[in-house]
Amino acid sequence: MNASSTADLVKRALYYDMLTGHQEAIEQTITGIGSGSEIEGISIFDKKGRVVYSSHKDEVGKIVTMENATCQICHKRKEKPLESVPEQYTWRIASGNPNTKILTLVMPLGNEPS
């Protein structure tokens, strides 16, 4: 499974629970998928950059500035962030420890009425 299809799977798995505000189910889904051997972690941010859900519980509540390279994928323009991102801009590769590279994939989750 590639990164895009994994992200799409996560988005589909979370859709109903996010629509209905079922926080416990959202947390369980993120923890379950995020604990996979090939997945470093999953995080969902609010519009202000605060981590609302994460497979790494110690990250919940932390704030990531919009200057962060990952945030810049959508927030490069100051006025209004992108609502959809062309696929070639949704990912970046970062270095973990000296022997590891981490693929970061960004997928905006739009709000929908319940």
Query: Which class for 83: exposed (0-12), middle (13-18), buried (19 or more C-beta within 10 A)?
Result: exposed
pLDDT of residue 78: 67
Per residue in 8-42, pLDDT tens? 888 888 888 988 989 999 999 999 888 877 788 88
For residue 114, being part of any structural domain is answered with no
Whole domain around residue 51: which residue ranges?
3-105
Per residue in 49-68, pLDDT tens? 899 999 889 999 999 888 88
For residue 110, being part of any structural domain is answered with no
Structurally, the chain folds into a number of domains equal to 1
Backbone angles phi and psi of 42, in degrees to 5 = -130, 135
For residue 112, being part of any structural domain is answered with no
Strand partners, 102: 94
Per residue in 57-110, pLDDT tens? 999 999 988 888 777 777 776 677 666 666 666 667 777 677 777 777 777 677
For residue 63, being part of any structural domain is answered with yes
